[in-house]
């Protein structure tokens, strides 16, 4: 099912090389452990939340699917506070994928985040899209932000391609059409936005802080002990984690809840280098 491009220039979001997520006023930080599973995510998505000003303890929403996530982001614009939604999924594709050839109908000058996203939305399934990518090149290069933040997997990797496809086509593109700011690839004209969505990566956050970034997922004693250690480090970092949530996260062998909680730490705030601003406006950046 092909998606019609946004043909209204006034409504078309403008890409920005913004590299700061600082905010004034009441800010709510949402950490989203995303799911690209079939069936709209099958209510597997976990969301941890906390208010930064005034400071509040973490709370967790019940599991939702991708439709529920998109609705929650849109509804957050109406409560008078500022919101930052940090989602654990790749927001863009590497420019290197398009260096040798372009998708049919996409001229070189049209290579923007929106053009790529709308092209992706023309495929019926994530697997159809990945097949088209592999027809262009069998390589699975990483983006500039993947190298900078040492993310575990490239966006087209077999373990993550469904997340890449669904977050871009089912979450980000509709939100951008609704005027929601997608850092830094699709920023509404006029600058300030009360609701912003940014790419996060739990492994990158853990690595930047020098905390255990591997070995916390899975059953048995070693992973559980690592999860306990990460909870301890999060609390030492100032996060108020209620006991019931700490226990649930420690016993969650898939690490979904812990990943969501990791992403309500302060954003990484790593500036986009000037020489990468144009690249990040297409490939995205990690916050």
Q: Does 267 score more than 70 pLDDT?
A: yes
Average pLDDT value for residue range 222-244: 97
144, 284 contact by CB (below 8 A): no
Task: Compute the distance between CA of residue 22 and CA of residue 12 in angstroms, rounded to an integer.
Answer: 24
Model pLDDT for residues 119-132, shown as the tens digit of each residue: 999 999 999 999 99
Relative to beta strand 195-199, strand 82-87 is parallel
What's the pLDDT tens digit per position in 48-62?
999 987 788 999 998
Strands of 181-182's sheet in order across? 59-60, 46-51, 27-33, 82-87, 195-199, 181-182
Percent helix / strand / coil, the chain, rounded to 5: 40, 15, 50
Environment class of residue 41 by beta-carbon count within 10 Å: exposed (0-12), middle (13-18) or buried (19+)? buried
Q: How many CB atoms lie within 10 A of CB 228?
A: 14
């Amino acid at each position: 099912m092909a998606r019609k491009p946004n043909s209204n220039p006034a409504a078309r979001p403008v890409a920005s090389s913004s590299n700061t997520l600082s905010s004034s006023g009441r800010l709510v930080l949402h950490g989203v452990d995303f799911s690209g599973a079939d069936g709209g995510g099958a209510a597997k998505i976990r969301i941890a939340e906390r208010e930064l000003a005034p400071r509040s303890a973490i709370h967790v929403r019940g599991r939702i699917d991708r439709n529920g996530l998109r609705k929650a982001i849109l509804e957050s614009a109406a409560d008078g506070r500022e919101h930052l939604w940090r989602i654990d999924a790749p927001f863009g594709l590497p420019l290197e994928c398009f260096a040798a050839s372009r998708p049919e109908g996409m001229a070189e000058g049209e290579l923007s985040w929106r053009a790529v996203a709308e092209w992706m939305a023309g495929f019926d399934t994530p697997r159809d899209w990945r097949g088209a990518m592999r027809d262009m090149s069998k390589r699975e290069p990483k983006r500039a932000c993947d190298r900078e933040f040492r993310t575990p997997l490239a966006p087209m990797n077999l373990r993550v391609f469904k997340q890449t496809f669904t977050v871009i086509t089912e979450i980000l593109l509709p939100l951008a059409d609704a005027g929601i700011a997608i850092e830094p690839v699709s920023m509404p004209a006029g600058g300030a936005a009360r609701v912003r969505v940014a790419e996060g990566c739990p492994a990158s956050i853990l690595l930047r802080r020098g905390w255990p970034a591997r070995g916390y997922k899975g059953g048995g004693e070693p992973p559980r002990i690592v999860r306990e250690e990460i909870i301890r480090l999060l609390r030492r970092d100032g996060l108020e984690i209620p006991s019931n949530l700490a226990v649930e996260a420690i016993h969650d062998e898939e690490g979904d809840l812990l990943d969501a909680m990791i992403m309500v730490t302060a954003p990484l705030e790593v500036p986009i280098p000037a020489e990468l601003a144009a690249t990040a406006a297409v490939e995205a950046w990690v916050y």
